[in-house]
A and B are shown apart, each in its own frame.
Chain A
Amino acid sequence: MGFASKPVRMAIVRAQGLGKTYRVADKQPGLAGTLRHFVNRRERLIAAVQDVSFSIEPGEFVGFLGANGAGKTTTLKMLTGLIHPTSGTVEVAGCQPQRREADFLGQITLVMGQKQQLIWDLPPLDSLRVNAAVYGIPPEESRRRIAELAEMLELGDELRRPVRKLSLGQRMKAELLAALLHRPAVLFLDEPTLGLDVNAQARVRSFLADYNRRFGATVLLTSHYMADITALCPRVLLIHEGRLFYDGGLETLTQRLAPCREVRLELREPLGAEAFARYGEVEAIEGREVRLLIPRERLTEQVGRLLADLAVVDLSVSDPPIEDIIGRLFHEGAVA
């Protein structure tokens, strides 16, 4: 397994011993706790990120994995200069992010699935006009770029409709357009497909791959959906409890992380757990619904046997949610 920190000369993103410690109020719940806290203020230090080192070369598409609270967003915010690191150094596009110089800000972008920058009551085009002015893009050039990106994103009339009237998928695509108008060299994407339906997710995914190819942009992507990562990122960083645990190819990681796929069955009659032991590991049984984990290499064979042997009404195969995979991994101590 390739750990980080081998220095790469051409790196466009470089983090060295990066750490962030938060000071949080140590407060008991309820009114009594609040009062006690008011009189006797106690604080705790929480290390959100510790000693994280990696570097990314121009044009790379890197997935950034980790459970909720693992430190992904904190790291992204340090890379974009929104928060100052407590320790270590960061360099992005040859600048120190926390200084937030115009030269740096013009080269990066941040897209957050949970936050939006488009003006709610106006059509996206008005927000785009504002961004063009702020980034100093001449009107002619900005029209050309909007047309190009809109075509790649399959956006048309939506750009003329108030943002509040757009669907979540259309809004996310318009957000991407707004975030990419200044043609940044480095893209930080925090859950850009969050909450989108499968089709919209796939469209955003293919756009990102297309964008990365066409403009040679460097992308660091976090996502809850394993499919995003597998489709886009040859390389992944895995962060757990604030520390970097894995930096390397996705292939190696998937085999290690998700050797099994999840098979959901709906049966005509409820059956006991012992009936499934020979097909795979039983995850859960709820009445007629069963969830099994089956090793990838035996999947086809076992699904065939399941269908042949049992009275199956419905069957679906998916990757277990990334949270589960990572949870299992650390629970079993496979990496640590």
Chain B
Amino acid sequence: MGRYLSTLRIFWIASLTAELEYKANFVIELVATAGNLVGSIFVLSLFYGRGQSLGGWSWEGALVVLGVYTLLEGVTSTLLQPNLSTIVAHVRTGSLDFVLLKPIDSQFWLSARTFSPWGLPGIALGAGLIGYAAWKAGATPSPLTLLAAALMLVASLLILYSLWFVLAASSIWFVKIWNATEVLRSVLVAGRFPVSAFPAGLRAFFTFVVPVAFLTTVPAEAILGRASGPWLLAGGVVAAGSLALSRWFWQFALRFYTSASS
């Protein structure tokens, strides 16, 4: 365990050193993320314009969902996108060989190798929006609520990571998998709104097929202190299940990997 932590530290220091060559990126990223967020809030406000509501959610509640979504986007740009998009390149060039020859878990290496600071503005803005909207909604932060909220956020991250990793890992069979991860990303955009805002059919799809509901709606419920026990449990089960699936799938995919011929 200690070796994994120290490896992670070295990984992230190395990638930060490389990224910080481009300091202007940080400002650009901050402006872009803030612009995106303002746009999303504006779209959301259109639904609430004439005293209507979205799927029974209050304006502040919907803002919490948007905050969770922004936070997830930030984590995506910081960890998921930079790491998982390189799996395809590793498979194509055959440099996956080097990863597999290291005495360290290959899934860990592939998932945590790079840390890109450009998603940090998104994480900060998302957290800020969550805090502000939850306070406006009158949520009372009891230790139990905070714990539930933290657990559901972690669960949501694990689910998103596992989905993405499985998709990226299938590049072992279909080397050109880039488009598929883009499709995933656009489906996830649905997470900007509470899942109850969608028609019944889509709601089922976003809960059982692509678990978008667990990505933003369930954590938001937990933050607002109104998540029911069964939903919390379901969130935990789905997260643990997705993670286990991603690990199993990786081992399975590796059995087919014969590496690009040299």
Q: Which of A9-17, A77-85, A238-246, A267-275 contacts B (4 or more CB under 8 A)?
A: A77-85
| B17 at interface by CB-CB < 8 Å | yes
| A129 at interface by CB-CB < 8 Å | yes
Q: Is A83 a contact of B258 with CB atoms below 8 Å?
A: yes
Q: Which of B7-15, B166-174, B218-226, B228-236 contacts A (4 or more CB under 8 A)?
A: B7-15
List chain A residues, Cβ under 8 A from B262: 73, 112, 114-115, 190
- Complex partner residue of A77 from B10, B109, B259, CB under 8 angstroms: B259
Q: Which of A49-57, A117-125, A206-214, A306-314 contacts B (4 or more CB under 8 A)?
A: A117-125
A130 to B257, CA, bound (A): 25
> Closest Cβ of chain A: how far from B90's Cβ, in Å?
10
**Count class of interface residues, chain B:** 20 to 34
Interface size on A, residues (CB 8 A): 35
Q: Which of A59-67, A103-111, A276-284, A326-334 contacts B (4 or more CB under 8 A)?
A: A103-111
| A116 at interface by CB-CB < 8 Å | yes
List chain A residues, Cβ under 8 A from B109: 134
| B94 at interface by CB-CB < 8 Å | yes
Question: Which of A81, A105, A115 gathers the greatest number of chain B CB atoms within 10 Å?
Answer: A115
Fill in one digit per residue for B1-41: 1 if any A CB lies within 8 Å of its CB, else 0.
00100110111001001100000000000000000000000
List chain A residues, Cβ under 8 A from B104: 102, 134
| A143 at interface by CB-CB < 8 Å | no
Q: Which of B95-103, B155-163, B185-193, B202-210 contacts A (4 or more CB under 8 A)?
A: B95-103
Q: Is A73 a contact of B261 with CB atoms below 8 Å?
A: yes
Tell me what chain A mostly uses at the interface: helix, strand, loop, or mixed: mixed
Among residues of B, the one whose C-beta sits closest to the C-beta of A84 is B255
Among residues of A, the one whose C-beta sits closest to the C-beta of B96 is A82
Q: Contacts A134-B104, A135-B103 given: A122-B17 contact, CB under 8 Å?
A: yes
Q: Is B14 a contact of A116 with CB atoms below 8 Å?
A: no
Question: Restricting to A201-236, which residues have a CB under 8 Å from any CB of B?
Answer: none
List chain B residues, Cβ under 8 A from A133: 3, 6-7, 9-11
List chain B residues, Cβ under 8 A from A84: 255
> Closest Cβ of chain B: how far from A77's Cβ, in Å?
7
Q: Is A105 a contact of B11 with CB atoms below 8 Å?
A: no
| B140 at interface by CB-CB < 8 Å | no
Q: Is A136 a contact of B258 with CB atoms below 8 Å?
A: no
| A100 at interface by CB-CB < 8 Å | yes
| B93 at interface by CB-CB < 8 Å | yes
> Closest Cβ of chain A: how far from B94's Cβ, in Å?
5
The 8 A-B pairs of least Cβ separation, nearest first, read A102-B103, A105-B103, A117-B98, A133-B10, A133-B7, A126-B14, A106-B103, A134-B104
Which B residues are within 8 Å of any A CB, using their own CB? 3, 6-7, 9-11, 14, 17-18, 93-95, 97-98, 100-104, 109, 255, 257-259, 261-262
Q: What are 14 sample pairs from A and B whose C-beta atoms fall under 8 A apart?
A: A73-B261, A77-B258, A105-B101, A105-B103, A108-B101, A112-B94, A112-B262, A114-B262, A117-B95, A117-B98, A132-B10, A134-B109, A135-B102, A136-B3
